[in-house]
Structure 1
Amino acid sequence: MQLDHATIVTADLDAARRFFVDVAGLTQGARPPFSIDGYWLYANGRPLIHLIDATVAVQAGRVAPRIDHIAFRLESADEWQALLQRLHATDTRYQLAEVPQTGPQQAELQLFVALAPGVVIEFVTAPRHARRS
C-alpha cells in the first residue's frame, strides 16, 4: 500500500502551495477544471497533494481547514539533507522527534512542520539517513 494523495482544505492556498513546492520539493501540475480553486502538486509524476480553497461554503459535518497530518518517507541521506537545506533556506521552523525501535519496527527520525493551524506535515526517515558524513 502507498499514499495515493492527501487533500488539504485551506484558506491560504498560495502559502500552502509555496511550502509544498519550495520546501517539500513537489511540483505544481495539471488539475481538472473544478469549480473550486485549488492546486494539484506532484511527486514522481503523480498528483500527491490536492489543495482546495476553504473559503467556499463548508458542507454539513465537515470543518475547514481540516487534516491532522500527512507523512512523507525519505529513503536516503541525500533526500534528507536536501530537505534540511530547503527548510533552512526558507527559514521554515520544524521539530524533530525520534521513534525508538519497537520489536521488528526500526527506529525512525521524524521532522514536523506546522503548515497552518491544524495542519502538520511530517517527514520520516531512518536515523542513519540523518547523520552527516
Structure 2
Amino acid sequence: MPLGGLQHYTIEPHDLERTKNFYVDVLGLAIGDRPPLDFPGYWLYSGGQATVHLMGPRKPRDGIVVRGTEKKFEDTGRLDHIAFAATDVEDVRRRLQSKNVKFREQIVPRTGDTQIFLYDPDGVGVELNFPKA
C-alpha cells in the first residue's frame, strides 16, 4: 500500500479558540469547510488543503482510540514538530514579532534556505521553511 503526501495532522488543543486563533492570525491558515461531525472543531486550510484539524471535546468511542479524550500531555511526546513550506520570510518575521511569538531562525547549510521554528499554544513544534531568494 503506497502512501501519498501528508494529508493533515490533528491537534486536541487545551483551548480550541486560542489555538485556532494562533493558526489563523499568526500562521495565516484559513478556516474552511468541515463535515458536520458530532464534536466541535475546525479544519484549517493551507494551499487549498485542510492541513490542520483541531478537535474539541468528544465522547469516547469503541475500538481503536488514537488518544483518549481525558489524557493530558505536558509535551507532544515523540512528535518533534510539523513543517510548512512558506513564503515571504520578512512578512512572517514581522507578524511573529508583532504578535510577541518567540521563534528561532536559522539558515540551512548548503541550500541557504531560511527556517523559522516556534511553538503553538499547546507546545506543538512548528517549522516554517522559506526557499532561498
TM, length-normalised to structure 2:
0.73
Partner residue of 1:98 out of 98, 107, 113: 107
Per mean C-alpha deviation after superposition, the further-off stretch among 61-70 and 116-125 is: 61-70
Report 1:1-133 matches (<5 A). Answer: 2-53=5-56, 62=67, 64=72, 66=76, 67-74=79-86, 76=87, 79-101=88-110, 106-126=111-131, 128-129=132-133
Moved >4 Å (runs of 4+)? 54-61, 63-67
Helix, strand or coil at the partner of 2:82? strand
> Take 2:49 and 2:115, find their aligned partners in 1: how far apart are those partners?
24
List runs of 5+ in structure 2 lacking aligned partners.
none
1:59-95 deviations in whole A, cap 9, x for unaligned? 7563655553211112x4xx22221121122111111
Quick one: which amino acid aligns to residue 35 of structure 2? P
Aligned length: 121
RMSD: 2.7
Quick one: which amino acid aligns to residue 83 of structure 1? V
* Structure with greater strand percent: 1
How far 1:43 sits from its partner (Å)? 2.0
Distance change (3 Å), C-alpha of 1:13 and 1:117: closer
How far 1:33 sits from its partner (Å)? 1.4
Percent of pairs with identical residues: 32
TM, length-normalised to structure 1:
0.73
Quick one: which amino acid aligns to residue 73 of structure 1? A
Distance change (3 Å), C-alpha of 1:5 and 1:46: same
